Amino acid sequence: MCRTTAWVTLTYVTVTYASSSKEATVEELLPKPRLRGWFHLGMAPFVQLAGLILIVAAPALIARIGIAIYLVGATLLFATSAIYHRGTWSPRMGGFLRRLDHANIFIFIAGTYTPLALLLLDAGHATVLLTLIWAIAAFGIAFKLGWMGAPRWLYTGLYIAMGWVAVGWLIPFWNAGGPVIVALIVLGGLIYSAGAVVYALKKPDPAPAWFGYHEVFHVATVVAALCHFAAIALVVLR
């Protein structure tokens, strides 16, 4: 029994299914906390509705384009995450959804940058930032799709590093948007980073049967996304 328990609780152990030659983690085989996926399931329709309202309210075409890109990224992230985490899947389908779930994080980060850069930065700064951030996103997507078994600390660190690329443009953001918008951007980044650390360390894990470390991570992503959405809305509607 002790050996079985120890084996099951190993972190991020990879099991190869000979029948499908696909990989899944032992974590996916364990019972999910009861709240797994519910926070992203609730966030998905909210983001869609709020994003569509913001597109309609936006006074300029460039703002609508930026918000639309953000909306696609946010919808992919929260909807795919909800489907993956709420469902019970075969090893093959679970592995596919897990790849999408992780790859979508890169799209969402780049999508969040897009309206802020388009609306707050001059053409030169916006071009440099968006070229850089979408290039990182493309690399990250290829990285996750090609190496799903990468160490958790490695791809989590890439998420965090990508998220903080904006530090190099904080002064132009401040000059164009003011302290409130910059504060929301930074606060969202700090919350995302804290959630990513929880995900990487799998701690704290307050109530594994109901609300585990992964739920802490999901709540952090929701709160951080709301901060950044508020910043985008303030920029668009000011």
Q: Which residue has the tokens 């996926």?
A: 37
Classify residue 119: in a domain, yes or no: yes
DSSP class of 207: B
> Is it the case that residue 186 has pLDDT exceeding 60?
yes
Q: What's residue 5's pLDDT?
A: 41
User: Angle at which helices 213-237 and 38-57 pack, to 10 degrees?
Assistant: 10
Classify residue 186: in a domain, yes or no: yes
Indicate the pLDDT class of residue 20, thresholds 50, 70 and 90.
very low
- Which of residues 142 and 18 earns the better pLDDT score? 142
Most confident of the following: 7-21, 128-142, 152-166: 128-142
Classify residue 17: in a domain, yes or no: no
Alpha carbon 55 to its chain's center: 22
Indicate the pLDDT class of residue 15, thresholds 50, 70 and 90.
very low
Through-space distance between the first and last CA atoms of the chain, rounded to whole angstroms: 62
Contact 91, 24 (CB under 8 A): yes
Classify residue 185: in a domain, yes or no: yes
| Average pLDDT rounded to a whole number, residues 108-116 | 97
Classify residue 130: in a domain, yes or no: yes
Classify residue 6: in a domain, yes or no: no
> Is it the case that residue 6 has pLDDT exceeding 80?
no
Q: What's residue 22's pLDDT?
A: 42
| Average pLDDT rounded to a whole number, residues 31-43 | 89
User: Angle at which helices 170-177 and 91-120 pack, to 10 degrees?
Assistant: 60
Q: What's residue 232's pLDDT?
A: 97
| Average pLDDT rounded to a whole number, residues 32-42 | 90
Q: What pTM did the predictor assign? A: 0.85
Phi and psi based region of residue 21 (left: phi greater than 0; alpha: psi -120 to 50; beta: remaining)? left
> Among candidates 102, 68, 69, which has minimal Cα distance to 85?
102
Classify residue 11: in a domain, yes or no: no
Within 23-90, where are the H helices?
Answer: 26-29, 38-57, 61-86
Number of domains in the chain: 1
What is the residue range of 211's domain?
33-237
Classify residue 162: in a domain, yes or no: yes
Structure tokens at 199: 């995900």
| Average pLDDT rounded to a whole number, residues 173-178 | 95
Cα Rg of the chain (Å, integer):
19
